[in-house]
Amino acid sequence: MNTVVYNISDLNNIEAKEAINTAIINNDLVVFPTETVYGIGANALSEIAVKKIFKIKGRPSDNPLIVHLSHSSEVHKYVKDLPKHARLLMDYFWPGPLTLIFEHNGILPDVVTGGLKTVAIRVPSHPIANMIISLCNLPICAPSANISGRPSSTLFSHVKDDFYGLVPIIIDGGPTQIGVESTVLDLTVDTPVILRPGKITKSMIEEVLGIKILENSDIPNESTPKSPGMKYKHYAPKGIVTLVDGQFEEVVKFINSRSEFHKDKSVAVLCPDEYVDLLKIETVIKLGSLRKLEVIGENLFKSLRMMDELEIDYIYIPVISSEGFGQAIMNRLLKAANYNIIRV
Ligand code: TXA
Ligand code: MG
C-alpha cells in the first residue's frame, strides 16, 4: 500500500484534510499523534474499519478500544447515562489524557467494546487528534499505534517502523508530549477504579472528586481482569529485561557486575540520570532525572524500542518511585520486564 505522510504544516491545506476525511469515511486507517502516544484511528461506527485495526496490529479481539470524541457533549450519544462523578471529571480533565469507562447504549459495534457492556471514551487535547475527529464528525477508535506487544509509539520513526506501507495515511506530529498512554478510570462501579495509571494520577482525581478512589491492584483475586488489555504481554523488547530494586549503591554495584556475568552478550542499562556517572556498562541510556518524572515518561518507550535497534540481549533498569506519575512509569516497566524484578 502507498502511504502518504503529512506533517503539521501540510494540515493547513485543504487537500490533506480532504484526504484524511476520505480515508476515514472509506473505512481506512489513519495514524496520528495524540498528547499521550500515537494512535491508529478508524471510524468507530464501522465494523469493517475497526476490524482492520485488530488485523493490522495483531491485537487480540477481546481487547476493546478507546473511542475518541471531539467534545464531552458527544458522550451521551454512546452511553446509557452519565454515572456519578462523570461530569466533574469530564469538565476538569477533558480534553486530556483521561479515559473514562461508561456503560454503553449499544450504538457502537461489538468489535469496539470487545462484547463488553462498557465502553472506554476520551477527548484528546492534541490539536491534530482533535482536528481529525472534528473534521470527520465521527467517533474515532484509536488504540496506541504499535504492533501488539511492542512499546507504544512516541516518535514518528516508531509509527513508520510499524505501519509504513500498511496504512494509507500517517501524520508526523513529532514526539508526543506525555509519552505514556492515558489513565483509564472505571466509572461503572460505586467507587471509581483506576484500571491503568497515567499522567492523571490517583491523587489528582481524588482531589477533584473529594473522595478516595481505588486502583486495580486494590481489588483482590479478580479472575477476569476488568481492563482486558492488562493481561497481555506488552512493551517488551526482545532482550531480557530485569528491574533492579534496592539501595542506590547496591543497585549500582549489581548492575556494574552484569557485563562480566553475561560476558559474550550485549548488556544495556536504562536509568535515571542520577545513576549515569557511576555505571560502568557499555550501553547506558539516560531516561531523565528522578526529579523530572515527566521527562522519564517522555523517554520511556523510545528507550525500550532502542534496545531492539541496538540488539541488546540483557537490559537492566533501576526501580523508580511509584509516587504520582512514577506509578504509570513503573506499571509500564513491570510489563516490559514481564514482572522480572530482582532485589539486591
Ligand atoms: O493514551 C491513550 O489512551 C492511547 C491514545 C492513542 O489515545 N490509546 C491507547 O489505547 O492506549 P490502547 O488500545 O492501546 O489501550 C486501551 C486500554 C486497554 O488496556 C484496554 O483493555 C482498555 O483501555 N479498555 C478499553 N475499553 C475498555 C472497557 N470497556 N473496559 C475496561 N478497559 C477497557
Ligand atoms: Mg496499547
Cα distances (angstroms) measured from residue 75 to each of 2, 20, 81, 135: 35, 23, 9, 17
Are 162 and 300 found together in one domain?
A: no
Nearest to 242 by CA among 310, 336, 150, 308: 336
Expressed as residue numbers, the domain containing 322 is: 240-343
Any ligand 1 atom below 6 A from CB of 53: no
Closest CA to ligand 1's atom 31: 227
The CATH number given to whatever domain includes residue 295 is: 3.40.50.11030
Residue 222 has pLDDT above 80, yes or no: no
- pLDDT tens track for 289-317: 999 999 999 999 999 999 999 999 999 99
Are 126 and 169 found together in one domain?
A: yes
CA of 126 to the centre of ligand 2 (A): 18
Cell of 209: 472528586
Any ligand 1 atom below 6 A from CB of 130: no
Nearest ligand by distance to the CA of 176 = 1
Nearest ligand by distance to the CA of 162 = 2
CA of 287 to the centre of ligand 1 (A): 25
Q: Number of folded domains in the chain?
A: 2
Find where cell 461503572 sits: 188
Nearest ligand by distance to the CA of 60 = 1
Residue 220 has pLDDT above 80, yes or no: no
Let me know if residue 225 belongs to a domain: no
Q: Whole-prediction pTM value?
A: 0.96
Residue 59 has pLDDT above 80, yes or no: yes
Let me know if residue 75 belongs to a domain: yes
Number of H helices, E strands in the chain: 11, 16
Give 219 or 8, the one with higher predicted confidence. 8
Which residues have beta carbons under 5 A from ligand 2 (an ion)?
144
Cα distances (angstroms) measured from residue 79 to each of 112, 114, 124, 178, 309: 13, 15, 18, 28, 43
Any ligand 1 atom below 6 A from CB of 324: no
For CA atoms 99, 102, 107, 109, give the dihedral sign. Answer: positive
Cell of 186: 472505571
pLDDT at res. 259? 87
For CA atoms 321, 322, 325, 329, give the dihedral sign. Answer: positive
Neighbouring-strand partners of residue 269: 284, 316
Are 14 and 110 found together in one domain?
A: yes
Written as one string, the DSSP assignment of 82-100 is: PPTTHHHHHHHH-SSSEEE
pLDDT at res. 236? 87
Measured CA to CA, the distance from residue 120 to residue 68 in angstroms comes to 9
Of 59, 181, 196, best ligand 1 pocket probe by most atoms within 8 Å of the beta carbon: 181
The CATH number given to whatever domain includes residue 12 is: 3.90.870.10
